[in-house]
Copies of this chain bind each other. A is one copy, B any other.
């Protein structure tokens, strides 16, 4: 007998995956399923990017540069410089195959097998996959709905540090909670990184999605304060509705990290030529595009938040950014309820697919009364979501 590796077996299944067959079965029976379970927005990709495809005239799809296509690297440099970080040069950037590869590179760069990375739960579920594949241990620090999932005190975080802790990872604005960390929270993490000699990895793929006039505090503001420790993970997926174009960024002022990331990038040859050529148009995307997208998501947030509050027993902190929220429900097993929505319920032939929140927690038993909702559909559909959720909760309670 041959045995596959333990590390392969340790890569977790997507917690949403289990529900997919039920969604498919529902669709087969003619039920319309609204997908609010994944952050794949319905926003159109900017025309200036789609035109790259329509006007494609290169006859051979050759490898792109391992570091990133020069035009894209220049466009990214300008983007970061215009954000207020004129010190960012192309040598501080490596183009990755989505934010996913950037996170995986950051794990590999900062930990040996068995080392620990602290992050705040609930957290983006795929962190667990990259951690398993890299042999890194994720140590969760709990945040609570009652605090809007904001960070706990420095002392609480310190309790979770061990000799094996090599980095703190945070997502800001946060997937799955919608929390935008205040400047003082980010500064607390910088303080911790300095005090304990840790890497600080910031996942900022939702940077522009902040509501109610908030400002996102980027780790880029601290790049010069902790140049060897700060690492930015970024992606163009959400900013330009390019989820299926696998273009992300790893950035740091730490030369060893950037040199190592470039060596990994050379090993896998390149990110996609076409995706990068599209993305390199980013400077030409009009400001009106972002204003429209931003307004749309703030409107969706408002409709969703008001609607959720109107349902008895439902609790949710007001989402501050990104396009997710963790919603508390008046029940004990949200996974069972999410399945119920697909197998036993519909409202006029329609239902919703949402994600049980337990998959976003590393600590067992947490999140069992919570779901994550990605508000990636328009307000009309979100209003339907509210009706469906309200009726489904009643039906579920009657059934149980």
Contacts and interface: CB of A to CB of B under 8 A. Distances in A.
A241 interface: yes
B101 A268 contact: yes
Contact of A8 (B7, B135, B260): B260
Given A4-B254, A241-B60, A272-B275, A267 B112 contact: no
Contacts of A224: none
A111 interface: yes
Given A1-B197, A53-B274, A268-B101, A62 B126 contact: no
B11 A264 contact: yes
Interface residues on chain A, size class: 35 or more
Given A13-B263, A45-B60, A8 B257 contact: yes
Contacts of A11: 260, 263-264, 267
B244 A273 contact: yes
User: Which of A9, A198, A229, A275 is the most central at the interface, judged by chain B CB atoms within 10 Å of its CB?
Assistant: A275
Chain A interface main SS type: loop
Interface stretch (A35-43, A147-155, A295-303): A35-43
Contacts of A60: 41-45, 241
Contacts of A64: 244
A1 B282 CA distance: 37
A133 B264 contact: yes
A6 interface: yes
- Oligomeric state, in number of copies? 2
Interface in A1-27: 1-2, 4-9, 11-14, 17
A45 B17 contact: no
A270 B97 CA distance: 10
A116 to B, nearest CB: 13
Contacts of A128: 267
A260 to B, nearest CB: 4
B111 A5 contact: yes
Contacts of A241: 60-61
A49 to B, nearest CB: 8
A317 interface: no
20 contacts: A4-B256, A4-B260, A6-B112, A8-B260, A11-B260, A11-B264, A14-B267, A53-B54, A61-B244, A62-B243, A100-B268, A126-B267, A128-B267, A129-B264, A129-B268, A130-B267, A133-B267, A244-B272, A245-B272, A275-B275
List 4 A-B pairs, minimum CB-CB distance, nearest first.
Answer: A129-B267, A244-B273, A8-B260, A100-B268
